[in-house]
Amino acid sequence: MKSFFLIFMVFSLSSCAVASLTTTAVSTAIKVAEVPFKVIGGVLSDKEEEAEEEQ
């Protein structure tokens, strides 16, 4: 009975760790994917501001 409980605890903890790692990896990937859009948006807004200042 003790071995069954021990095996159950190991599997439950490992699945929790996998879920945590997966969540971290996904959130990191989303933040990395956002960077090019922020850079492009910053460049476009700078160009729009320069065009407005010239007029």
Number of domains in the chain: 1
Residue type, 32: V
Q: What is the mean pLDDT of the chain?
A: 75
Give the chain's radius of gyration (CA, Å). Answer: 24
**Predicted structure pTM score:** 0.48
pLDDT class of 54 with cuts at 50, 70, 90? low
Return the H-helix or E-strand segment holding 5: helix 2-54
b/e sequence 17-48, b meaning 16+ C-beta within 10 Å: eeeeeeeeeeeeeeeeeeeeeeeeeeeeeeee
Band (pLDDT 50/70/90 cuts) for residue 55 is low
Under the banding of pLDDT at 50, 70 and 90, the label for residue 34 is: confident
Does residue 43 surpass a pLDDT of 80?
no
Tell me which residue range forms the domain holding 16.
1-55
